[in-house]
Chains A and B, each alone.
Chain A
Amino acid sequence: MAKGMFVDTSVCIGCKACQVACKEWNELTGEPDDFKDVDGQLKAINFTGDSYDNTGRLTATNWRHVRFIENITPDRSTVAWYMMSDSCKHCIQAGCLEVCPTHALMRTDLGNVIVQQDVCNGCRACIAACPFGVISYNTSTGRVNKCTLCDDRIHIGLETACAKACPTDSIIFGEVTDLRQQASQRVDELKGLGFNKAQIYGDESILGGLNVFYLLLYYPHVYRQPVNPRLPQAKLIPESALSIGTAIALGVAAIIAFRERGSASNPPEKSLEP
């Protein structure tokens, strides 16, 4: 049975315990671009200046990112402050896994998608294939990195580090089928409380289902999530068909040009054929 996480953003308090736990368990360094060596001491630079957001994005060393969204109505009469702990979604139809030419990206028996660091050669094809901007290139190792769903922990029966650290149970680890039932009940509950736009992001309609899925209080685009992501490989057939059509057109053009008989007055070049 596939394991995953249900992230209920309605109870996230933006404490970033998940970010810290992820960093600590996976021994991830600080983001190189965000620190500068000054007289032998690392000093933080590149502050986002964006609410309480301190990383700004997912990177090769930030596998989890708590996003803060200040959603202000156009007339500025109401403000909603949303938080979302973002990470790899471990999609059922994973674009990264489909494009990886080395099979470095693989799905384990528990449904999580991981990067085999001993196989990855840093071609970076997977980066542009992910609609969520999850996978990042690590310039210091020449490979790509992303959340593994704590592959080492879950294969010995533990929950993920982020779920373990979450103080409000905003991140819940478990069997995906159980989590989906739980999420459905929670949406009904929130709608009963007047949160009419509460919705699940990551059901089967999105890339066959996301093993890490979300309960959002508002539309996905407000959380900077793609509304209807599709596998990029879906374009392979039309793209290939047009290329083949063009190949035929070019080939015919070349044949027309070179089949033309030359002028008899032109002396033939001495043939070098034996």
Chain B
Amino acid sequence: MTEQLQTPLWGWLIVFYFFFGGIAGGAYLISTIVELVGRPQDRPIARMGYYIAFPLALVCAVLLIVDLGRPERFWHMIVYRKTLLPWPVWDSAISVGAYALLLFGLFSFLSFLDVLVETGRLPWAPLRERYSGTPRRIYALLGAGVGFFVASYTGVLISTTHLPMWSSTSLLGALFLASGASTGLAAIAIGLALTKTPVISTSLEKLRKADSMFILIEIILLIAFIALAYLAGYDWSILNLVLLIGVTLIIGLIVPLVVFLGSAGDVKRRSEATIPILAALLILAGGFVMRAAIIFGGQGLI
């Protein structure tokens, strides 16, 4: 390692961007899968995911723009200033990510609009009359693809640098993606509870089962990331290990997993059950702390 590496000074705005981008991509993915393979009774889950994804995509765009040194030049990410033509840089995760966020914003907006029409919250007759479930499955599928990208490219972005923690493994894209899926599902669960949306117990059981599997995948990736970075010579700070192992792994993943597994019978028994909200909140907190620890730790700030 050279002593003169410089850091990009990415701070809280980027932490929140990575966090919300993960939730948005993950929630959209769940909604799409429910849309495509779920039963009609599962539809409230899909709707909540779409309600969450678009507003968060908007927040992500705002966070990214505000974080720029020259926010008024945000459009330079998409269009080359001197030709006014799109000119993506395929080797640049941040360039491809900007296009992906734009597309994700479009697809998540369509899905958002779709559920507003479907639920009658947008009582505009022309839209209501032309409403059909078929196109939404097409753009949901396309949106899920870019949603996956939005949730994971942030990890790839920081991994393709020279900063030791970030570049020590090739797992950050995968880890952020798994975290996006688990936090996305947790956000859906919290959204359903807060809005008191009626959901049948079998749908909740599916939600719980999916999140358990997502958490398991994330646990494996997080442990592999910490171990492989150490083996690659990265010197973990105590604070970073406390945040990643103590807060994220144990409190934010293992405890919710145990709660989910323990509540399996509960969810099945009760017709008006909810999945444990505290567990969902812990998943969200863990996902946030993980990103903060990786972003600040990677820049030697903690």
Interface hits, A10-44 → B, CB 8 Å: none
Q: Are B160 and A233 in contact (CB under 8 A)?
A: yes
A103 to B87, CA, bound (A): 8
Taking A103-B89, A128-B163, A273-B133 as contacts, is the C-beta distance between A258 and B206 under 8 angstroms?
A: yes
Q: Are A262 and B156 in contact (CB under 8 A)?
A: no
Across the interface, which residues of A come within 8 angstroms of B263, CB to CB?
A: none
Q: Are B4 and A142 in contact (CB under 8 A)?
A: no
Q: Are B162 and A130 in contact (CB under 8 A)?
A: yes
User: Does B155 reach chain A (CB closer than 8 Å)?
Assistant: yes
Q: How far is the CB of B259 from chain A (nearest CB, A)?
A: 17
**Residue from B81, B131, B162 in contact with A118 in the complex, judged by beta carbons closer than 8 Å:** B81
**Residue from B6, B94, B210 in contact with A258 in the complex, judged by beta carbons closer than 8 Å:** B210
**Residue from A57, A137, A232 in contact with B69 in the complex, judged by beta carbons closer than 8 Å:** A137
Q: Are B29 and A269 in contact (CB under 8 A)?
A: no
User: Does A253 reach chain B (CB closer than 8 Å)?
Assistant: yes
**Residue from B89, B119, B213 in contact with A256 in the complex, judged by beta carbons closer than 8 Å:** B213
Interface hits, A216-252 → B, CB 8 Å: 221, 224-226, 229, 232-233, 235-236, 238-240, 242-243, 245-247, 249-251
Considering residues A98, A122, A139, A247, which has the most beta carbons from chain B within 10 angstroms of its beta carbon?
A: A247
Across the interface, which residues of A come within 8 angstroms of B2, CB to CB?
A: 131-133, 221, 224-226
Taking A98-B92, A224-B3 as contacts, is the C-beta distance between A258 and B167 under 8 angstroms?
A: no
Across the interface, which residues of A come within 8 angstroms of B81, CB to CB?
A: 102, 118-119
Across the interface, which residues of A come within 8 angstroms of B10, CB to CB?
A: 124
Q: How far is the CB of B199 from chain A (nearest CB, A)?
A: 7
User: Does B214 reach chain A (CB closer than 8 Å)?
Assistant: yes
Q: Are A101 and B89 in contact (CB under 8 A)?
A: yes
User: Does B70 reach chain A (CB closer than 8 Å)?
Assistant: yes
Q: Are B177 and A246 in contact (CB under 8 A)?
A: yes
Q: How far is the CB of A89 from chain B (nearest CB, A)?
A: 12
Q: How far is the CB of A76 from chain B (nearest CB, A)?
A: 22
Interface flags for B231-267 (1: CB within 8 Å of A; 0: not) read 0000000000000000000000000000000000000
Across the interface, which residues of B come within 8 angstroms of A144, CB to CB?
A: 69
Q: How far is the CB of B97 from chain A (nearest CB, A)?
A: 8
User: Does A272 reach chain B (CB closer than 8 Å)?
Assistant: yes
Q: Are A232 and B217 in contact (CB under 8 A)?
A: no
Q: Are A235 and B159 in contact (CB under 8 A)?
A: yes
A85 to B40, CA, bound (A): 69
Smallest CB gap from B45: residue in A: A258
Interface flags for B38-72 (1: CB within 8 Å of A; 0: not) read 11111110000000000000000000000111110
Q: How far is the CB of A274 from chain B (nearest CB, A)?
A: 6
Smallest CB gap from B77: residue in A: A101
Across the interface, which residues of B come within 8 angstroms of A57, CB to CB?
A: 4, 6
Considering residues A98, A253, A260, which has the most beta carbons from chain B within 10 angstroms of its beta carbon?
A: A253
Interface hits, A256-274 → B, CB 8 Å: 256-263, 266-269, 271-274
Q: How large is the interface on B (under 10, 10 to 19, 20 to 34, 35 or more residues)?
A: 35 or more
Smallest CB gap from A131: residue in B: B162
Considering residues A100, A138, A260, A261, which has the most beta carbons from chain B within 10 angstroms of its beta carbon?
A: A260
A259 to B203, CA, bound (A): 10
User: Does A58 reach chain B (CB closer than 8 Å)?
Assistant: yes
A31 to B301, CA, bound (A): 21
Q: How large is the interface on A (under 10, 10 to 19, 20 to 34, 35 or more residues)?
A: 35 or more
Interface hits, B114-144 → A, CB 8 Å: 118-120, 128, 131, 133
Q: Are B44 and A269 in contact (CB under 8 A)?
A: yes
Across the interface, which residues of A come within 8 angstroms of B118, CB to CB?
A: 272-274
**Residue from A226, A238, A273 in contact with B170 in the complex, judged by beta carbons closer than 8 Å:** A238
**Residue from A129, A233, A257, A262 in contact with B39 in the complex, judged by beta carbons closer than 8 Å:** A262
Across the interface, which residues of B come within 8 angstroms of A127, CB to CB?
A: 6-9
Q: Are B37 and A259 in contact (CB under 8 A)?
A: yes
User: Does B33 reach chain A (CB closer than 8 Å)?
Assistant: yes
Across the interface, which residues of A come within 8 angstroms of B213, CB to CB?
A: 253-254, 256-257
Q: Are A257 and B210 in contact (CB under 8 A)?
A: yes
Q: Are B41 and A262 in contact (CB under 8 A)?
A: yes
Taking A99-B91, A232-B161 as contacts, is the C-beta distance between A269 and B217 under 8 angstroms?
A: no
Q: Are B9 and A124 in contact (CB under 8 A)?
A: yes
Taking A133-B4, A246-B178, A258-B33 as contacts, is the C-beta distance between A253 and B68 under 8 angstroms?
A: no
Across the interface, which residues of A come within 8 angstroms of B178, CB to CB?
A: 246, 250
In the complex, 12 of the A-B residue pairs with CB atoms within 8 angstroms, ordered by the A residue number, are: A99-B89, A99-B160, A122-B73, A123-B68, A123-B94, A125-B94, A136-B6, A243-B153, A243-B156, A253-B210, A259-B37, A272-B43
Please name the 4 residue pairs, one residue from A and one from B, whose CB atoms are nearest each other, closest first. Answer: A122-B69, A142-B69, A262-B202, A101-B95
20 further A-B contacts with Cβ under 8 Å, apart from A121-B74, A259-B37, A266-B200, are A99-B93, A99-B95, A101-B89, A123-B68, A128-B158, A130-B162, A134-B6, A135-B6, A138-B69, A221-B2, A226-B162, A243-B152, A246-B174, A249-B217, A251-B29, A254-B181, A257-B213, A258-B33, A268-B200, A269-B198
